[in-house]
Amino acid sequence: MAHKSALINVMDAAARKASRRLLRDFGEVEQLQVSEKGPADFVSSADLKAEETIREELEKARPGYSYLLEEGGKVDGKDTSNRWIIDPLDGTMNFLHGIPHFCISIALERDSEIFAGIIYDPARDELFFAEKGLGAFVNDKRLRVSGRKQVKDAVFATGIPDRGRGTPKTKALFSKELELVMPLVAGVRRQGSAALDLAYVAAGRYDAYWERGLSPWDIAAGLIILREAGGIVSEINLGERMLETGSVLAGNGRMHDVLADILRKAARS
């Protein structure tokens, strides 16, 4: 059985409390008050309430920590060494269309390094979590990335640029990447939650994943979970500034390298 530290328990409790309202709202999607932030980028009352609940619970347990919030932006606390990075609802588009594939993502950044993270999927009651040096888990099960070596047997995941996001150049590049990837693998999935995509690579459900244009709160928790599960994660150009650039390439060691080669070919062409 997985042992949860006091830190993970604090994050878990905050996520579960916020999730209870999310699930109620999910059952009444048509009645949600939704305002449009931009093309294909929505914020719902569910996002805002979940973020408020998570912050309140974390503040009780760890007063003075700083925050980076999807909806609330940066909040400086007295403790500048520790910062929560929070996405109260990753997969908002799925949520608003009644698709049960969304999650809450909470990471703790300590001295500019991701130290711990959880990703909670309320619809499936799955808690993915990791703390630096202590391994990664889903509920009571230890996580390990897949051991697949043959690309023909692999399932990759990605995020298709939504309407209003990305330049014509980046969209053309993605189309070329997809054109090169699809004939080589068993399948490509696009499910609409970057946090869960990273968690699924950590769990061995996907063999690799790539995407651009992400925000820190989309990926912070997933980075530590994936690494503690034995995975490799970098920028698509193999740099290490994922939280700054929003570029992510993740997988088991073999598939990370294979996918990196394919994406380099797409860029050259």
Can you name the CATH fold of 6-142? Fructose-1,6-Bisphosphatase; Chain A, domain 1 (3.30.540)
Report the distance separating Cα 195 and Cα 199, nearest Å. Answer: 6
pLDDT of 72 over the 90 cut: no
170 φ, ψ to 5°? -70, -30
pLDDT in tens, 45-66: 889 999 999 999 999 999 999 9
CATH 3.40.190.80 fits 151-268, yes or no: yes
* Domain map (residue ranges) of the chain: 6-142, 151-268
Pair of tokens at residue 117? 């993270």
Report the distance separating Cα 85 and Cα 75, nearest Å. Answer: 10
Confidence at 166, pLDDT banded by 50, 70, 90: low
Confidence at 42, pLDDT banded by 50, 70, 90: low
pLDDT of 39 over the 60 cut: no
Q: Which residues pair with 114 in a beta bridge?
A: 109
pLDDT in tens, 79-106: 989 999 999 999 999 998 889 999 999 9
pLDDT at 164: 61
Packing angle, helices 45-61 and 6-26, rounded to 10 = 160
Pair of tokens at residue 129? 């979590």
Compute the Cα dihedral for 35, 37, 43, 45 and give only its sign. Answer: negative
Contact criterion met (CB below 8 Å) for 132 and 228: yes
pTM: 0.94
